[in-house]
């Protein structure tokens, strides 16, 4: 089997064990461990425990690989592979007891920098929903054993789109202005709270498109590969002096250019 398929299988296996731990801790009750970039940006003890499990399993299976995780940061490896991990994407949903959270694990090759790496394997597991989205470069995107495809066309009513908002209240005006620019092409808007699941839903045709500024690399590393392998377009635009927050836009090809232009800030 190819490296991408081997790493996909490993990512699925570890994501399922990690997700089972996250779900068990959720049922036991969640403790907020700290806040990070803003009061709303929380980390739970489960985030830390789940990332530790993922990191240990990867170190055992692939000791030469690098790691980039939301809770424990970056460590260079000696191979060309880096694992980009969000132990619980949708942390606030998780803390509030909502089921829209996921373990997101991606294997990338090249420089471990968003926009420079090539993702080759991905697993996004939503334990409370019992869904495992996965992909290997060149082998398609899947929900379990069901192959995924983005919606080829959107309805005359417009696209069902999703977005998200930053933890920092100072970013909300810009985010809301972006929503106002995009709404004329939308039939409706969803704010699910997990970028990994928003991207997985674009790949599955449950959404026509998704756009968000301010994501961290681990939020989108796996989901972007799902979209690409499902026939969609997904672009990462790094932050700059005008807007330091990077932009992710993903959709079916039929609406991508229009969604990208409307998502970009004036
Ligand atoms: C979250 C993303 C979500 C975004 C939130 C947050 P976390 O990641 O999945 O799309 O809107 O602000 O970044 O913090 O739950 O890993």
State whether 114 and 187 are in the same domain: no
Q: Are strands 131-136 and 118-126 parallel, antiparallel or unpaired?
A: antiparallel
| Ligand 1 geometric centre to CA of 8 (Å) | 23
pLDDT tens, residue by residue, 169-188: 999 999 999 999 999 999 99
Question: Cα–Cα distance between 123 and 146 in angstroms, integer?
Answer: 14
Domain final position from 97, 116, 147? 147
State whether 215 and 135 are in the same domain: no
Residue 242, SS3 per DSSP: coil
Question: Cα–Cα distance between 154 and 160 in angstroms, integer?
Answer: 8
State whether 166 and 250 are in the same domain: yes
State whether 106 and 141 are in the same domain: yes
Distance of CA 60 to the CA centre of its chain: 24
Residue nearest to atom 11 of ligand 1 (CA): 164
State whether 46 and 125 are in the same domain: yes
| Ligand 1 geometric centre to CA of 92 (Å) | 8
Length of the chain, in residues? 266
* Residue 151, pLDDT score: 98
Question: Cα–Cα distance between 88 and 20 in angstroms, integer?
Answer: 11
Residue nearest to atom 4 of ligand 1 (CA): 164
Is the residue at 54 inside a domain?
yes
pLDDT confidence bin for 38, thresholds 50/70/90: confident
Residue nearest to atom 13 of ligand 1 (CA): 215
Does residue 86 have its Cβ closer than 6 Å to ligand 1?
yes
CA angle, residues 193, 229, 204, in degrees to nearest 5: 45
Question: Cα–Cα distance between 57 and 17 in angstroms, integer?
Answer: 10
How many other C-beta atoms are found inside a 10 Å radius of the C-beta of residue 257? 12
State whether 201 and 247 are in the same domain: yes
What pTM does this model have? 0.97
How many other C-beta atoms are found inside a 10 Å radius of the C-beta of residue 238? 12
State whether 141 and 196 are in the same domain: no
Provide the number of structural domains found in the chain: 2
Asked if 259 contacts 235 with a C-beta cutoff of 8 angstroms, the reply is no
Domain range holding 255?
159-263
State whether 85 and 177 are in the same domain: no
* Residue 31, pLDDT score: 76
| Ligand 1 geometric centre to CA of 222 (Å) | 14
Q: Which atom of ligand 1 is nearest to the CA of 94?
A: 15
Q: Which atom of ligand 1 is nearest to the CA of 215?
A: 13
Does residue 90 have its Cβ closer than 6 Å to ligand 1?
yes
Distance of CA 158 to the CA centre of its chain: 24
| Ligand 1 geometric centre to CA of 214 (Å) | 9
State whether 97 and 19 are in the same domain: yes
- What sign for the dihedral angle of Cα 201, 202, 205, 206? positive
Domain final position from 97, 123, 147? 147
Is the residue at 154 inside a domain?
no
Q: Which helix (H) or strand (E) holds 211?
A: strand 209-213
pLDDT tens, residue by residue, 39-69: 788 778 899 999 999 999 999 999 999 999 9
Residue with the two structure tokens 């807007």: 243
pLDDT at 124 over 90: yes
How does 202-222 read in b/e, with b if 16+ C-beta sit within 10 Å? bbbbbbbbbbbbbbbbbbbbb
State whether 26 and 142 are in the same domain: yes
| Ligand 1 geometric centre to CA of 2 (Å) | 32
State whether 213 and 241 are in the same domain: yes
* Residue 160, pLDDT score: 98
Residue with the two structure tokens 């995107």: 141
Is the residue at 152 inside a domain?
no
* Alpha helical stretches, state H, the chain: 3-28, 45-61, 91-96, 172-182, 195-204, 217-229, 253-263
* Residue 30, pLDDT score: 80
Q: What is the CATH number for 97? A: 3.30.540.10
Q: Are strands 42-44 and 118-126 parallel, antiparallel or unpaired?
A: unpaired
State whether 113 and 26 are in the same domain: yes
């Amino acid at each position: 089997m190819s490296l991408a398929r081997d790493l996909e299988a490993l990512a699925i296996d570890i994501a399922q064990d990690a997700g089972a731990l996250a779900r068990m801790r959720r049922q036991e009750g969640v403790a907020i461990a700290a806040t990070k970039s803003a009061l709303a940006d929380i980390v739970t003890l489960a985030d830390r425990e789940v990332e530790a499990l993922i990191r240990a399993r990867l170190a055992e299976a692939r000791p030469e690989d690098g790691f980039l995780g939301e809770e424990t940061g970056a460590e260079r490896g000696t191979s060309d592979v880096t694992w980009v991990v969000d132990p619980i994407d949708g942390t606030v949903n998780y803390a509030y007891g909502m089921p829209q959270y996921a373990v997101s694990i991606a294997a990338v090759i090249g420089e471990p920098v968003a926009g420079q790496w090539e993702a080759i394997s991905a697993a996004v597991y939503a334990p409370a929903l019992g869904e495992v989205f996965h992909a290997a470069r060149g082998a398609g995107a899947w929900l379990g054993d069901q192959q995924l495809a983005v919606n080829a066309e959107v309805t005359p009513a417009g696209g069902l789109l999703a977005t998200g908002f930053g933890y920092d209240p100072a970013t909300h005006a810009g985010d809301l202005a972006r929503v106002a620019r995009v709404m004329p092409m939308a039939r409706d808007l969803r704010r699910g709270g997990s970028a990994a699941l928003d991207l997985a839903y674009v790949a599955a045709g449950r959404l026509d498109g998704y756009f968000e500024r301010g994501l961290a690399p681990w939020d989108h590393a796996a989901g972007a590969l799902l979209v690409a392998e499902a026939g969609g377009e997904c672009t990462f635009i790094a932050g700059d002096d005008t807007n330091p927050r990077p932009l992710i836009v993903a959709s079916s090809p039929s609406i991508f250019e229009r969604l990208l232009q409307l998502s970009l800030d004036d």
